[in-house]
Amino acid sequence: MTTPRRLLLVNGPNLNLLGTREPEIYGTATLTDVERIVSDAATLRDFEVRAVQSNHEGVLIDAIHAARDDCAGIVINPSGLTHTSVILRDALTAVAVPVAEVHITNVYEREAFRHHSYVHDVAVVHVIGEGVSGYATATLALLDVIEQVAAG
């Protein structure tokens, strides 16, 4: 079976407010900028990207489930769901494709409740605290993993 040349980009709750939400913490780049960054990185390796952002956990889980049919991997910033959602973690495990976890800020230098990630042990790539440019780093690292697996 041929590996699909598509990634799913998942952005969790409140990331639709990037650029205006606490710019001193998250910067001024918008969600559109993030989607372009990931798409540009994926295009370098002949991959396309399907992006989803929602403030509703079930919408994200449905998108993750759908990815098992036509995506080679998932780049995800679960935002606050990182620290709370076992069901999001279970969805990522269930689709059985490689996952890259990305966070704009260094969650380990923030409030103590942000130090635990339910996604961490599911992801094969972790990019933490590089700002929105970390999305490109995560995308390219995930593509390395996907291409290594495809090569056998």
Q: What is the CATH number of the domain that holds 89?
A: 3.40.50.9100
Mean pLDDT, range 110-123, rounded to an integer:
91
HEC-encoded secondary structure of the chain = CCCCCEEEEEECCCHHHCCCCCHHHHCCCCHHHHHHHHHHHHHCCCCEEEEEECCCHHHHHHHHHHHHHHCCEEEEECHHHHHCCHHHHHHHHHHCCCEEEEECCCHHHCCHHHHCCCCCCCCCEEEECCCCHHHHHHHHHHHHHHHHHHHC
Number of domains, the chain: 1
pLDDT of 4: 83
Catalytic annotation, pick one of 26, 83, 115, 120: 26
3 pLDDT exceeds 80? Answer: no
Asked if residue 1 is part of any domain, the answer here is no
Query: 37: domain range?
Result: 6-151
Catalytic annotation, pick one of 65, 83, 103, 126: 103
pLDDT of 151: 87
pLDDT in tens, 69-87: 999 999 999 999 999 999 9
Asked if residue 30 is part of any domain, the answer here is yes
Asked if residue 105 is part of any domain, the answer here is yes
Asked if residue 130 is part of any domain, the answer here is yes
pLDDT of 32: 98
Q: Taking all residues of the chain, what is their mean pLDDT, rounded to a whole number?
A: 95
Q: What is the pTM of this model?
A: 0.95
pLDDT of 42: 98
Active site residue 118: no
